[in-house]
Structure 1
Amino acid sequence: MANFRAIFEQNFFPYCLLISIFFLSCSPKDNSFAVLDYTIEKIDLKNNSMDVVFTITNSTSIDFKKNEWSLHWNQILGEPLAESIPEGIDFERVNGNSYFVFNFGDSWPLSAGESITFRIVTTGVMSRLPLGPKGAFVVTSNQSIDLHTNIHWQEAKGLEDLNLPTAKTRYQNLENVNSLPIDSIAWIVPSPTYSTKPTTERLRLANWNVYFTSENTMDEFDFLLKVPFEEMVSTLFPDVGLQWVKSVEEANFILKLSSDLTQEAYHLEIKQDHVVVATNSYGGLFYALQSLLQIDQIAILENRGWPIIKIDDKPRFSYRGFMLDISRNFYGLPKLKQIVDLMAMFKLNHFDIKLSDDEGWRLEIPGLPELTEIGSKRGYTTDESDRLIPMYGSGATGGETGNGFLSKDDFISLLQYAKSKNITIIPQLSFPSHARASIISMDARRNKLLAMGDVVGAEKYALSDPNDKSEYQSAQLYNDNAINICMESSFTFFDKVVEEVAAMYREADVPFKQFGIGADELPYGVWEGSPICYNSVNGNSTGVDFERLYNKALIRLKESIEKHGAIMSGWEDFLLVHSKNSQSETKLKEERFNYEVIPYSWNNTWRGGREDMVYKLANAGFKTVMSNSSAFYFDMANDNDMDAFGLSWSGYVDYFDTWAIDPQDIFANSVLNQKHNIQSDYISKTTRLKPSKRDNLIGIQSQLWTETVTNHQILEQMLVPNLIVFAERAWAKQPDWISNTAPTQEQKMLKEWNYFLNVLGKRTLPVLHHRFPEIVYDLPKPGGVIENDTLYVRSQFPGLQVRYSLDGSVPNQTSKLYQYPILIDSDDVVVLRSF
């Protein structure tokens, strides 16, 4: 029988996978670097451990002398067990859960040109490559030397227990996906509320003679639509000639200001002799033109005219958000503006930017230069007086995305750019949890000013109590990432940050609407060992406890934000009782902050007990956003493929999980319930969204946390088409099939899912590539089987090209295109590749 292999490369991204569980070597070789070969000999899932061989080759000209060198690296899964480490090597897990160091003693010199090898056992299994060792470097003689890391895992005993995806399993999983005729599929994503089916076409409109009509005054039109319309057309349709005309008879484009339409709604009609756009808002006008632009670019790509079509469209949710974590890894202003463009294309309107966390502070704050001088840099450091410790593979000097920040001017520019795209920027700066970057930065400021004799200045913005003996561990195993809320200087710091951020909004002439404090995963036990807090609690005759102390602090933060006209938002945790239950806590605290805050409900792992937290919050009276980790976290890996980026603590989340969920009733989809083993008795014990409280669920938000997103290419692959699938659920009306019961529901749903995949693969992704040719989006791996000497192939997105070779070579753009089943000889070695 023929050998079958399939490989996958992201638009020529050289990270190579053989689906039949072979990998191509893509590791660079350079004799100016040292090399770490990390070989997994055995995987023991039962005991959650691995047998690993370290081989370090010194390809430099420098001798690594005994007692004078150390190996540093980051690794998310697979911490060395101390008792397994050879004598003469000391192991240290530096603060946090993934920065490891081996210090080599008397018997471990490594001369130039030589290698050393030793074996260890780990706790934790590196189940995917992005979770393994990265950012390795050697420190010797007060200098750091980067290492190339090669991971060898293909021959590991116990590998089969990981149940890695194969070409066959992918083929089977795609059994309900089939190609549809292109004339039968939609022109616009996200799906409009109402659209006629095109039957004929007209020529593209190259020159627009625009006539305006409204029951309102011309002054109102000039303010609301005319100037924005001209700016939008010049940006979205730069080749179009635009002129205003004074009569309908002269016009081929009619623009209407219609008070009957709701916010962000629009009417778009393409007729044989003219085009009509009606709206009542800036957002509605912008989205009408975005829809017309999709139609126009499809027409160009398919060499056809515009369809004769009528569209009435409005969003299902007023809040349609995306959050990007730029604290763990930083991507720069141009990339953020590109993301704004992508969001605008698919009608998302809130961009929540995670500007600080334990591993980075990414916004310039005038008057607090240490936040970016220290907090925006990672790398090798002996005391963190100059930078933060390496994390997530940032290496000795920060790597490609470990360093950097937005200047004040950058942020103002971003605010203005987003405003023009009908997008609200929400700054999220962590307080009091996930605040290690700010704490370390202010510690450095304190030490610097103390050395200068400025005691008052040193304490003005201090965030930590040097005498604090509190014992705690955060979710990421930090023991120093919570700001001390008993210190007045902590609030001085917060007020200063909010004041400077508000000033940036004023300078940008953009409304300051919302400020996110994060406040998730606050470790239990914080502050209890601080003398300052102890005196504060026990010195109060009313017996204030730490829960009340925290609530009082949150009230102060809320007041600080409201002073500048904004609303405080945060992750759901800050509205839950702070207890030893940690992330399994489900009880709302008594303090409700007058229901004037916006919680984001995120920790919704299936069968985790908090799937319904978003409904509890909405029913209680909070304006709430669903940020469901098991549906809307782009950083949850699609599956357990060895190449898959992202984490999986909330399960594997694929495109179907995002598309198939109903935000107003997450248990309404019988297929998802079955997939995640949700039974009726479990559902019966959960809280459902009350019909009278539906307006409190103001929208949904997708998230991309970036622990494994260490370059721009990975960012793009995890963003697209995830963002498009999410936008469909955020904008489009509730699907009709959701009200059906199984098995009718499943049949109708799978039919619509296949339809959406066809639209995505045949029209939306080609249009996106036409507009953003530089973006390297995700191309799901093809599935394939050989049966009766015949090759059968399936693709997740009909319309993607799959090319193949029969000699074991890697297919390229000139290789044969798979279009139908083909006969295979017994000695053929079949290799598939998506394009």
Structure 2
Amino acid sequence: MKQNLGGSDAYEINISPETHTVVIQAQEAPGAFYGAQTLISLVEDNDGNIPKATIRDAPRFGYRGVMLDVARNFKPKNWMLKFIDVMATYKLNKLHLHLSDDEAWRIEIPDIPGLTQIASKRCHSEYSDECVMPQLGSGPDTDTIGSGFYTVDDYREILDYANARHIEVIPEIDMPGHSAAAITVMEKREDEIDFMESHVYGPLPESWLLYDHKFVERVVDGLKELHRPVQPLRIFHMGGDEVAHGAWSESRECFDNVEFRGKDTAALQRVFMSRVSRIISDKGLNLGVWEDGVYADDKPNPITDFKSDVFVYPWNNRWGTNKAKRSSEFADAGYKVILPLATHLYFDMPQEPDPESRGLYWATRFIDAHKVFGLMPDNIFANVDVDRMGNSVSLEDLCGNAACPQPNKTENIIGLQACMWAEVMRTEEQFHNMAFPRLLALAERAWHRANWEEIEDRNARDAYRSSDWEAFADVLGYKELPRLEKKQVFYLVEPPGARVEGNVLMANTRYPNHVVEISMDGGDSWNEFQQQTLANGKYKFHFRTKSPVLGRVSRPVELMAVVEGDGRITPKV
């Protein structure tokens, strides 16, 4: 009889030096795979020698995901395969691919060739059937990361690679908002049909535009067929986010339809979402959607609007708004909730509050690995800190004198997801720098519920969490970050901290096992830093961090100081 190990991802490892055996037990293949990942890690930790041990392990969340935006800037197939390897190493199991947006369309649908013939390319052109307009630094030509798409063979290779590593791929075609690239193609197609009709050419192709249900059906059918021989499609994510108010106010289709005439944007979007839900339900699929696609009049749309399970991604928990309550509301309304919280898990945000740090800050001023590690997903409001400008936000600011809302149906909160929107990621190194090491902290929180999360006293909790972070940072510095570099995976090498105390010059790094280098000639030459005592005088130093395996360096930071006659120092950073 099989031992009940606690679900498909759970496993047990028994290591016996006496019998020279290692036994991995699991209920299902994913658990055995994760047990093997743990064993590999143990072997690497101990130079090939592994200690006697019994390990029983299971994740806190069944959904441990990453959303990759390949629409804004494309990620070629070889980038994807390397990234999937890293996901598997850290037991992440959902890859949500944002395949379309206003800026481009990235997946081949053989029935609608124009989507990739035109909308996968960005360029300057006098011909409307060549490309869409360049954006996000993609330039005038089609030979940059602004252009590109996955062919049928490419996509199936990605699926096969992910499937072998127990990673489910969830494709997203964003609609009805964020559809400018698709609209451009379909309008061009309609113009061609009108031209052929007016010139009495032969048999005409079927006419249908983006608002026609046939478009949705053709796309979903195309994705189902792409997945069918490799990893059958289970969830179709339709986006649904950020539909502009008044988007349909000039629509002749809505005006001519008595049922729709006079309805506002929220009501029309509800109709749209419900219709798409019926289409995908009839095809045996479940629906994925961003929060704003199914939320109106300050509450979730009724779950009865939908015929299938709905996986909702409530992202907009920006402190200073009242939107953090939505996760609880969706869970209690019967939705399956994944948490891609913008204040902690949007990895397009900078990793430090510095103008030279790559990233946007519409949601929060910065998100570093320490902040991700400290996330408490079981109590979203316990994570309240500051708004995007660094101003302190309190629970009273958000919830008044009442208790902040908590979900009653906690079983409906099924996972965490990092979101990697790609506006500021043009190269593979930029992509990796934004992902790592934050993604490792996400993997830790998605798999493991820390003991300090249960502590109600904030001071005690913060002290315990800080101690836990120090241990985690040691693991990153000595083991996991070098491990990434050996895989030719980059991560953000953070600049060091430097200060003068008394007349002693000191510097350190965020993670151990990294070297601090100092320059005293404006960055022309660098030497390994050693703590030193300064004589009286004026100083200008530059510091940088060097990684342990590839020798990659951080951006430099400058420290100016004056050591005065009495030994006092006036630092100027």
Assess same fold via TM > 0.5. Answer: yes
* DSSP-derived class of the 1:748 partner: helix
What residue is the counterpart of 1:157 in the other structure? Answer: none
Quick check: 1:265 aligned with 2:27? Answer: no
- Aligned pair in 2 of structure 1 residues 549, 828: CA closer, same or farther (>3 Å)? closer
Q: Is the 8 A contact 2:302 2:333 kept in 1?
A: no
State the distance in 2 between where 1:745 and 1:724 align. Answer: 22
Quick check: 1:617 aligned with 2:338? Answer: no
What residue is the counterpart of 2:463 in the other structure? Answer: 747
Equivalent residue in structure 1 for 2:508, among 782, 790, 794: 794
- Aligned pair in 2 of structure 1 residues 353, 686: CA closer, same or farther (>3 Å)? farther
State the distance in 2 between where 1:492 and 1:282 align. Answer: 38
Equivalent residue in structure 2 for 1:555, among 248, 251, 274: 274
- Aligned pair in 2 of structure 1 residues 596, 457: CA closer, same or farther (>3 Å)? farther
State the distance in 2 between where 1:672 and 1:292 align. Answer: 40
State the distance in 2 between where 1:738 and 1:656 align. Answer: 18
State the distance in 2 between where 1:682 and 1:550 align. Answer: 28
What does the per-residue CA deviation read over 1:657-700, in whole Å, with 9 as the maximum and x for residues that have no partner? 21112111022357779984223463454653334x11100111
Equivalent residue in structure 2 for 1:694, among 405, 410, 422: 410
Task: Give the superposition deviation at 1:330.
Answer: 0.3
Identity %: 29
Task: Give the counterpart letter for 2:301 in structure 1.
Answer: K
Quick check: 1:782 aligned with 2:487? Answer: no
Task: Give the counterpart letter for 1:802 in structure 2.
Answer: V
State the distance in 1 between where 2:59 and 2:113 align. Answer: 42
State the distance in 1 between where 2:260 and 2:328 align. Answer: 39
Equivalent residue in structure 2 for 1:630, among 326, 332, 343: 343
What residue is the counterpart of 1:76 in the other structure? Answer: none
Quick check: 1:505 aligned with 2:227? Answer: yes
What does the per-residue CA deviation read over 1:751-798, in whole Å, with 9 as the maximum and x for residues that have no partner? 11111111111111112222x1x2221111111012333211121112
Q: Is the 8 A contact 2:107 2:150 kept in 1?
A: yes
Equivalent residue in structure 2 for 1:355, among 99, 110, 122: 99
Q: Is the 8 A contact 1:655 1:722 kept in 2?
A: yes
For structure 2, the residue ranges without an aligned partner over 5 or more in a row are: 547-573
Q: Is the 8 A contact 1:601 1:626 kept in 2?
A: yes
Q: Is the 8 A contact 2:518 2:541 kept in 1?
A: yes
What residue is the counterpart of 1:822 in the other structure? Answer: 532
Q: Is the 8 A contact 1:390 1:398 kept in 2?
A: no
What residue is the counterpart of 2:564 in the other structure? Answer: none
* DSSP-derived class of the 1:643 partner: coil
- Aligned pair in 2 of structure 1 residues 811, 688: CA closer, same or farther (>3 Å)? farther
Quick check: 1:726 aligned with 2:437? Answer: no
What residue is the counterpart of 2:119 in the other structure? Answer: 375
Task: Give the superposition deviation at 1:537.
Answer: 3.2
Q: Is the 8 A contact 2:495 2:543 kept in 1?
A: no
Q: Is the 8 A contact 1:790 1:821 kept in 2?
A: yes
Q: Is the 8 A contact 1:551 1:591 kept in 2?
A: no
What residue is the counterpart of 1:144 in the other structure? Answer: none
What does the per-residue CA deviation read over 1:553-605, in whole Å, with 9 as the maximum and x for residues that have no partner? 2222112212332101110111111xxxxxxx733234642473111111111
State the distance in 2 between where 1:643 and 1:455 align. Answer: 59
- Aligned pair in 2 of structure 1 residues 310, 682: CA closer, same or farther (>3 Å)? same
* DSSP-derived class of the 1:630 partner: helix
State the distance in 2 between where 1:539 and 1:752 align. Answer: 56
Quick check: 1:767 aligned with 2:483? Answer: yes
What residue is the counterpart of 2:300 in the other structure? Answer: 588
- Aligned pair in 2 of structure 1 residues 544, 710: CA closer, same or farther (>3 Å)? closer
**For 1:589-738, what aligned pairs fall within 5 Å after superposition?**
589-590=301-302, 592-594=304-306, 596-652=309-365, 653-669=367-383, 676-680=392-396, 682-683=398-399, 684-685=401-402, 687-691=404-408, 693-738=409-454
Task: Give the counterpart letter for 1:606 in structure 2.
Answer: W
Task: Give the counterpart letter for 1:507 in structure 2.
Answer: P
What residue is the counterpart of 1:340 in the other structure? Answer: 84
Task: Give the counterpart letter for 1:586 in structure 2.
Answer: D
State the distance in 1 between where 2:502 and 2:190 align. Answer: 74
State the distance in 2 between where 1:738 and 1:348 align. Answer: 24
Q: Is the 8 A contact 1:297 1:767 kept in 2?
A: no
State the distance in 2 between where 1:686 and 1:536 align. Answer: 45
State the distance in 2 between where 1:295 and 1:624 align. Answer: 33
State the distance in 2 between where 1:603 and 1:505 align. Answer: 31
* DSSP-derived class of the 1:310 partner: strand
What does the per-residue CA deviation read over 1:7-39, in whole Å, with 9 as the maximum and x for residues that have no partner? xxxxxxxxxxxxxxxxxxxxxxxxxxxxxxxxx
* DSSP-derived class of the 1:690 partner: coil
* DSSP-derived class of the 1:612 partner: helix
- Aligned pair in 2 of structure 1 residues 457, 371: CA closer, same or farther (>3 Å)? farther
Q: Is the 8 A contact 1:811 1:833 kept in 2?
A: no
State the distance in 1 between where 2:397 and 2:229 align. Answer: 55
What residue is the counterpart of 1:92 in the other structure? Answer: none
What residue is the counterpart of 1:534 in the other structure? Answer: 255
- Aligned pair in 2 of structure 1 residues 403, 367: CA closer, same or farther (>3 Å)? same
State the distance in 2 between where 1:545 and 1:400 align. Answer: 40
Task: Give the counterpart letter for 1:834 in structure 2.
Answer: T
**For 1:337-486, what aligned pairs fall within 5 Å after superposition?**
337-382=81-126, 384-398=128-142, 400-453=144-197, 457=204, 460-463=207-210, 484=211
Q: Which moved further from structure 2: 669-678 or 725-734? A: 669-678
Task: Give the counterpart letter for 2:531 in structure 1.
Answer: P
Task: Give the superposition deviation at 1:649.
Answer: 0.3
What does the per-residue CA deviation read over 1:104-138, in whole Å, with 9 as the maximum and x for residues that have no partner? xxxxxxxxxxxxxxxxxxxxxxxxxxxxxxxxxxx
**For 1:10-409, what aligned pairs fall within 5 Å after superposition?**
215=1, 258-273=3-18, 274-300=21-47, 305-382=49-126, 384-398=128-142, 400-409=144-153
State the distance in 2 between where 1:268 and 1:775 align. Answer: 28
Q: Is the 8 A contact 1:567 1:596 kept in 2?
A: yes
State the distance in 2 between where 1:740 and 1:686 align. Answer: 14
Q: Is the 8 A contact 1:737 1:748 kept in 2?
A: no
For structure 1, the residue ranges without an aligned partner over 5 or more in a row are: 1-214, 216-256, 464-483, 485-489, 578-584
Task: Give the superposition deviation at 1:308.
Answer: 3.2
What residue is the counterpart of 2:523 in the other structure? Answer: 809
Task: Give the superposition deviation at 1:629.
Answer: 0.5
Task: Give the superposition deviation at 1:399.
Answer: 5.3
Task: Give the counterpart letter for 2:494 in structure 1.
Answer: P
Q: Is the 8 A contact 2:260 2:268 kept in 1?
A: no
Task: Give the superposition deviation at 1:461.
Answer: 2.8
Task: Give the counterpart letter for 1:435 in structure 2.
Answer: S
Task: Give the superposition deviation at 1:745.
Answer: 1.6
State the distance in 2 between where 1:621 and 1:455 align. Answer: 52
* DSSP-derived class of the 2:495 partner: coil
Task: Give the superposition deviation at 1:442.
Answer: 1.2
| Number of positions where the alignment pairs a residue of Structure 1 with one of Structure 2 | 535
State the distance in 1 between where 2:87 and 2:260 align. Answer: 51
- Aligned pair in 2 of structure 1 residues 335, 676: CA closer, same or farther (>3 Å)? farther
Task: Give the counterpart letter for 1:769 in structure 2.
Answer: E
- Aligned pair in 2 of structure 1 residues 539, 331: CA closer, same or farther (>3 Å)? closer
Q: Which moved further from structure 2: 552-561 or 349-358? A: 552-561
Task: Give the superposition deviation at 1:276.
Answer: 2.5
Q: Is the 8 A contact 2:5 2:11 kept in 1?
A: no
